[in-house]
Structure 1
Amino acid sequence: MTHSTQFEKNYPIDVFIFASPVYWPDETKRKELFKKVCNELNLQTEYCNINYFDSCDSLNIATNNSDIPCIVIALSGGVQPWMLRMTEHRKHIAIYNAYLPDSLLSNLSGDLLHANAHPSSTDFFAYNKIRNKDIQWLSNTEELIDYGVAWNAASRLKNAKIIKIGETEPWVINSCRSPEAISCNIGTKIETIERRVLYDYYHNITNEDAKDEADRWLATKPELANVDSNDITKACRVTVAMHKLLAEHQADGLSMACFSMIGDIDTTSCLALSALNDSAKSIGACEGDLDAAVTLFLLKAMNADFVWIANPIIHPNNAIDFAHCTAPTCMGLKKLNYKLLRHHESGKGVAPEVVLPDALTATVARISMNTKQLVAHTGITQKQSKLPACHTQIRFLVKSTQDVLDHLLGTHFVLSYGDFYDQINRVASFIDFQFHGSKHNSNEQLTSQFSNLSDRLFSANRWHS
């Protein structure tokens, strides 16, 4: 039995492409045009439901009534009535402006300008905007990919299942405590189980069962501070127990009342949650924070290759220090150095201190189920002298700490390397949440690892299983 496969699932988006015979009278050339546009945009049937329209009769082959967002591409003038008919009942629409210079790889955009594709696009956009419909203006392939990635992430989130182990810790005062509210707001199923269920799994796990996981932590010969191999093996039994629990319940992740667990079985879940967030098929949130668990899932569903819950230390000089004890130990295929210590607050169990990359673009985000809001801020990571706080730490330079404070939704942010601002904004639109955020104005950017929609939608091979 394995975990749920939501992180591997794709939810195709509808793409409607329109060309009028008035501007493209040769049927053979029209078909070649459709094919060429699809090839240049790398529109694959695995990720897109593609429909071509070149007459009123052709409109009957597709439905205009669906919850799936629709990307509309005009290749000529005179197609506005067809575009309206096919999107009349769509809640979410995007217009891709293929006539713009950066929208296609070849010089085909000039041919589309000559065929009057631009007034079709602007007229259609204005019509929907005036009527307060959710329509997005897409100007280049990066924005097109972002739109598809955001829909895929929102769909994965809607169909996800997260286990809530124990009750949310009492000091986590801004996290939603109602599984029903989460299911109602975004569709995610929250299954609540008592802590003893996990403990039953744990007590049935032997040291031998946890040996491979313990050996993985020790393989790099990390510095051990006041912990030994027995402590590590004991903590890794929690990892194995959590994996078995997720598999048994066919779940995508969990939130754990981790401080309560320390008193119950005399070890910590720090290594286990780090390992879950390092894996391709799961996430794990500490302190029973369901909002953080949902945020972790959302970022990983966007193919973020590093997801870390952290507490912010907010300074007045547009700098935030993030610190916490459950950091992953890899960023995609890149292994990060770490040492192993006692848990910062309890002095028990084992927790990692991970050396996080600096001088890179990153995004911090949090979702609030109670207020139906999403926040995201981009910034640049920076090394900083260690503070007397949780072990793993990194400084984060933002546009304005006041912006962060104005829309603070709780103390647990999720940090991921890369710029996910636009995708998170689009997800907020898809799930009908209010979005707030800020973008750092530095020119330093993390170069995208993905050149096409296929790589961006499915990249689980970058994680260890």
Structure 2
Amino acid sequence: MRLGVVFGISELVSPKAFEFKVSKFIKELSEEFDVVGGFVLGSKSDFKKAKAEVNFNEVDVLVLYPLTGGTEGFMKEFFVFRRPTIVFGDPFNNSMAAAIEIREYLRERLVPSTLVKNMKELKAALLGYEDALEVLEPFLKMRLGLIGRVSPWLVNERFELPYTRISLKKFYEYYEKTSDEEGWNAVERVFQRASEVKEPDKKALRRAGRIYLAIKDILEDYRLDGFTIGCFDLIGKLKTTPCLALAMFNAKGIPAACEGELNSLLGMYILRRYFDEPSFMGNVADFGEDYLVIAHCTAPLLWRYRLRSHFESGLGVGVDVEFPSGRATLIKIRGRKAVVAGVEVVGNEHSEKRCRTQVRVRIEDAPEFLDGTLGNHHLLAYVDSEEFADLLSELGFEVMLY
């Protein structure tokens, strides 16, 4: 097992005062593990030097040991490597206080983190992470992308995990490399399989296909596992939306979220990576004592569907997908917290005053669920709610299971 070991000291103290403690610590760990690093850092500039010298992305576990207080500001920077981390704190020089603060900073960013205070606890924690690495690795190594910006009405959006940002300017460059003919070829089969095509004409379908091809190339070039796009910003320039492209990607196993929401994208990625299931990202449109209606203009094209326009703008190509009845799970993630509820899909609705795909689910005490949830957008997926909640807990989320 390969460990990246780093110590921190305040700028107010001399490194020489800790040489024996550092040497003893490294020697004992090296008897059982492959230790790299061993740096004693005192500032952010020291962190940058250590980062340049050792690739901490390649270690199995990070061990951070703040030898004094006043080290939190630069030791927290190790969260960028997204490796399981053990924070060692001892009873002297405010070491424990700093360790607790660093541990919580990492956990808030969904980096698995454990606090220990002696070598016995440290070795036990290392063995625990060794057993968990197979589950944790796909989560820690994921590559998510944001095309454009987070939609400004997502006032509760909070996301502090690393992601790749692709500007709309760059997206338009990719779009301009496509042609109307290529766009039509990309969506022709989707058009043929639709049970009905109501508003969209061939021009709208070509543009939708070009958006799909542009994003497909971005995914390949940036090596992304999933993406979200600030979709409404496309309306002014392209007079269309990416609803159909997102529906196609989700049907093909690539997590794709709209409105630039990264938390929904994260949930989509977890569902696809660990359960191989697609998910529907929707607005809560209505509720009663024992039901919710979830609606949006994009959904995985896996069942019977109609092609419509995008609801708010009347442009582009939205989808009205018929979801099958059955047990499912409703999920809302925001930051480190998650709300999970077992539901039953009981039908589909087709109001002209809502987004195009409208799914009705039965849920026990819907008002209580809404009172405790974390915001509007929810994911609907055909997975077991308890199994999904257990996985989220293992990945470091604080889960409320309804």
TM (norm. structure 2) is: 0.66
> Would the alpha carbon gap of residues 265 and 305 (structure 1) be closer, same or farther in structure 2, given more than 3 Å must change?
same
Measure how far apart 1:292 and its partner are.
Answer: 0.9
Alignment partners' CA distance in 1, 2:185 and 2:217: 15
Are the equivalent residues in 2 in contact too, given 1:404–1:437 (CA < 8 A)? no
> Would the alpha carbon gap of residues 315 and 91 (structure 1) be closer, same or farther in structure 2, given more than 3 Å must change?
farther
The corresponding residue for 1:160 is 142
The corresponding residue for 1:19 is none
Are the equivalent residues in 2 in contact too, given 1:374–1:428 (CA < 8 A)? no
Unpaired segments ≥5 residues, structure 1: 1-59, 70-83, 95-146, 184-189, 331-335, 439-465
Measure how far apart 1:315 and its partner are.
Answer: 2.0
Alignment partners' CA distance in 2, 1:403 and 1:437: 12
The corresponding residue for 1:367 is 333
TM (norm. structure 1) is: 0.58
The corresponding residue for 1:43 is none
Residues 208-357 of structure 1 correspond to what in structure 2 (within 5 A)? 208-280=181-253, 282-330=254-302, 336-357=303-324
The corresponding residue for 1:173 is 155
Which AA in structure 2 matches 1:361? Answer: R
> Would the alpha carbon gap of residues 403 and 341 (structure 1) be closer, same or farther in structure 2, given more than 3 Å must change?
same
Measure how far apart 1:210 and its partner are.
Answer: 2.3
Alignment partners' CA distance in 1, 2:338 and 2:134: 17
Residues 117-136 of structure 1 correspond to what in structure 2 (within 5 A)? none
Alignment partners' CA distance in 2, 1:343 and 1:154: 38
Structure 1 vs Structure 2 CA RMSD: 2.8
Which AA in structure 2 matches 1:368? Answer: R
Alignment partners' CA distance in 2, 1:290 and 1:385: 27
> Would the alpha carbon gap of residues 386 and 329 (structure 1) be closer, same or farther in structure 2, given more than 3 Å must change?
same
> Would the alpha carbon gap of residues 156 and 383 (structure 1) be closer, same or farther in structure 2, given more than 3 Å must change?
same
Alignment partners' CA distance in 2, 1:248 and 1:315: 42
Are the equivalent residues in 1 in contact too, given 2:239–2:315 (CA < 8 A)? yes
Are the equivalent residues in 2 in contact too, given 1:322–1:394 (CA < 8 A)? yes
The corresponding residue for 1:421 is 386
Which AA in structure 2 matches 1:340? Answer: L
The corresponding residue for 1:98 is none
> Would the alpha carbon gap of residues 315 and 86 (structure 1) be closer, same or farther in structure 2, given more than 3 Å must change?
same
Measure how far apart 1:401 and its partner are.
Answer: 1.6
Report the structure, 1 or 2, having the larger helix content. Answer: 2
Are the equivalent residues in 1 in contact too, given 2:349–2:360 (CA < 8 A)? no
Measure how far apart 1:278 and its partner are.
Answer: 1.2
More off after superposition, 308-317 vs 420-429: 420-429
Measure how far apart 1:410 and its partner are.
Answer: 1.5
Are the equivalent residues in 1 in contact too, given 2:194–2:307 (CA < 8 A)? no
The question of 1:182 aligning with 2:147 is answered no
Which AA in structure 2 matches 1:160? Answer: M
Measure how far apart 1:408 and its partner are.
Answer: 1.1
Measure how far apart 1:229 and its partner are.
Answer: 2.2
Aligned pair count?
A: 291
Alignment partners' CA distance in 2, 1:278 and 1:152: 26
Which AA in structure 1 matches 2:350? Answer: K
Are the equivalent residues in 1 in contact too, given 2:289–2:367 (CA < 8 A)? no
Unpaired segments ≥5 residues, structure 2: 1-30, 35-58, 62-82, 85-119
Alignment partners' CA distance in 2, 1:309 and 1:91: 38
Alignment partners' CA distance in 1, 2:148 and 2:194: 34
Greater relative CO, 1 or 2 (CA 8 Å, sep 6+)? 1
Are the equivalent residues in 1 in contact too, given 2:194–2:305 (CA < 8 A)? no
Residues 36-185 of structure 1 correspond to what in structure 2 (within 5 A)? 88-90=124-126, 92=128, 154-176=136-158, 181-183=160-162
Measure how far apart 1:220 and its partner are.
Answer: 1.5
> Would the alpha carbon gap of residues 348 and 417 (structure 1) be closer, same or farther in structure 2, given more than 3 Å must change?
same
Secondary structure of residue in 2 paired with 1:182: coil
The corresponding residue for 2:170 is 197
Measure how far apart 1:427 and its partner are.
Answer: 2.5
Measure how far apart 1:424 and its partner are.
Answer: 3.0
Measure how far apart 1:219 and its partner are.
Answer: 2.5
Secondary structure of residue in 2 paired with 1:258: coil
Secondary structure of residue in 1 paired with 2:260: coil
Measure how far apart 1:230 and its partner are.
Answer: 2.4
Are the equivalent residues in 1 in contact too, given 2:327–2:344 (CA < 8 A)? yes
> Would the alpha carbon gap of residues 408 and 85 (structure 1) be closer, same or farther in structure 2, given more than 3 Å must change?
closer
Measure how far apart 1:314 and its partner are.
Answer: 4.6
The corresponding residue for 2:10 is none
Alignment partners' CA distance in 1, 2:331 and 2:246: 18
Alignment partners' CA distance in 1, 2:189 and 2:269: 24
> Would the alpha carbon gap of residues 407 and 304 (structure 1) be closer, same or farther in structure 2, given more than 3 Å must change?
farther
Measure how far apart 1:153 and its partner are.
Answer: 5.9
Alignment partners' CA distance in 1, 2:228 and 2:377: 13
Which AA in structure 1 matches 2:273? Answer: A
Alignment partners' CA distance in 1, 2:134 and 2:316: 38
Measure how far apart 1:192 and its partner are.
Answer: 1.2
Are the equivalent residues in 1 in contact too, given 2:248–2:300 (CA < 8 A)? yes
> Would the alpha carbon gap of residues 198 and 93 (structure 1) be closer, same or farther in structure 2, given more than 3 Å must change?
closer
Are the equivalent residues in 2 in contact too, given 1:403–1:437 (CA < 8 A)? no
Alignment partners' CA distance in 2, 1:253 and 1:170: 21
Alignment partners' CA distance in 2, 1:275 and 1:418: 21
Are the equivalent residues in 2 in contact too, given 1:304–1:418 (CA < 8 A)? no
Which AA in structure 2 matches 1:424? Answer: A
Alignment partners' CA distance in 1, 2:349 and 2:367: 23
> Would the alpha carbon gap of residues 153 and 308 (structure 1) be closer, same or farther in structure 2, given more than 3 Å must change?
farther
Measure how far apart 1:66 and its partner are.
Answer: 6.9
Are the equivalent residues in 2 in contact too, given 1:367–1:375 (CA < 8 A)? yes
